[in-house]
Amino acid sequence: MLRCLLSAALISSLIPTLSVAADPKAELQAAVKKLAEAPNYSWTTKVEGGFSRGGGDGKTEKDGPTSLAIKLGDDSYDVIFKGDKAAAKGMGGWASTADLARDAEEEMNFSPERFLLQTIKTFKTPAGQAQDLYDKIQAVQKSGEAYTADLDDETVKRLLMFLRRRGADASAQVDAKDPKGSVKCWITDGTLTKMEVHLQGTVVFNNNERKIDRTTTTEIKDIGSTKVEVPDGAKAKL
């Protein structure tokens, strides 16, 4: 009798744990948190579709520097973040944010300096991006190894408008309509290792409309074995 009671008590104590572990949203949240707590990692971002500039690679160390290599057309730019400071390397060498702001003021329209400033201002690591998206979703579905969720209209609209604002005149009128979006994630050994964000809609820019169908895929790798090197030129500008 005692053995039966103990077995029943043990099973009862495990039920909450099992139900939490079986919840796809809870599993995804735990995977995002584990990535955020990783000592370091690298990632590669691929962009397909409208306003596709801005893909590239990155590396980050927890409580240390972060490096970002951005592809912009045929050109590429390097950015180093350290604490609340950043420096970027373009055609003219390494520049501080103050240098970029000065050069951006000299250009009335799009310029690499304005694009880099906006990138620095809004940059978040993949873990930070994933957490932001997680906070906006309601339900997560699990199919095989993938976790999927729809994004609410306001989140998609904000992301679509942000795509067009990057590098554009701050006074430009930007809006988005018919927003639709989703996020798809993959987890390996309890850690987020891949994230795909699909956005659709029509961006209205200064009364001009453009339909967007864009997919951004970020793959995370080298967790625990990534090292960020800060070039001397960047150190001088941080």
Q: In this predicted structure, what is the pLDDT of residue 217?
A: 96
Element housing 159 (H / E): helix 153-165
Phi, psi of 218 (to 5 degrees): -115, 125
What band does 6 get if pLDDT is binned at 50, 70 and 90? very low
Residue-averaged pLDDT of the chain: 86
159 against 167, higher pLDDT: 159
- Model confidence at 225: pLDDT above 60: yes
What does the domain layout of the chain look like in residue ranges? 24-235
194 against 49, higher pLDDT: 194
Tell me if 50 sits within 8 A of 228, measured CB to CB.
Answer: no
- Model confidence at 3: pLDDT above 60: no
Phi, psi of 120 (to 5 degrees): -60, -40
Q: In this predicted structure, what is the pLDDT of residue 20?
A: 44
pLDDT in tens, 14-27: 554 444 457 999 99
The CA-to-CA distance between both ends of the chain, in Å, stands at: 70
Tell me if 36 sits within 8 A of 195, measured CB to CB.
Answer: no
pLDDT in tens, 79-116: 999 999 999 998 789 999 999 999 887 665 668 888 89
CA–chain centroid gap for 52, Å, is: 15
The dihedral region occupied by 226, where left means phi > 0, alpha psi between -120 and 50, and beta the remainder, is beta
Which letter, b or e, does each residue of 201-212 get, where b requires 16 or more Cβ atoms within 10 Å of its Cβ?
Answer: bebbbeeeeeeb
Q: Which fold has domain 24-235?
A: outer membrane lipoprotein receptor (LolB), chain A (2.50.20)
Q: CA 29, CA 134: separation in Å to the nearest integer?
A: 7
Per DSSP, helices labelled H in 64-125 are: 97-105, 112-122
Tell me if 137 sits within 8 A of 183, measured CB to CB.
Answer: yes
pLDDT in tens, 110-136: 688 888 998 899 999 999 999 999 999
Q: In this predicted structure, what is the pLDDT of residue 86?
A: 97
Average pLDDT over residues 151-162: 90
Element housing 147 (H / E): strand 146-151
Nearest to 159 by CA among 138, 137, 133: 133
Average pLDDT over residues 2-10: 47
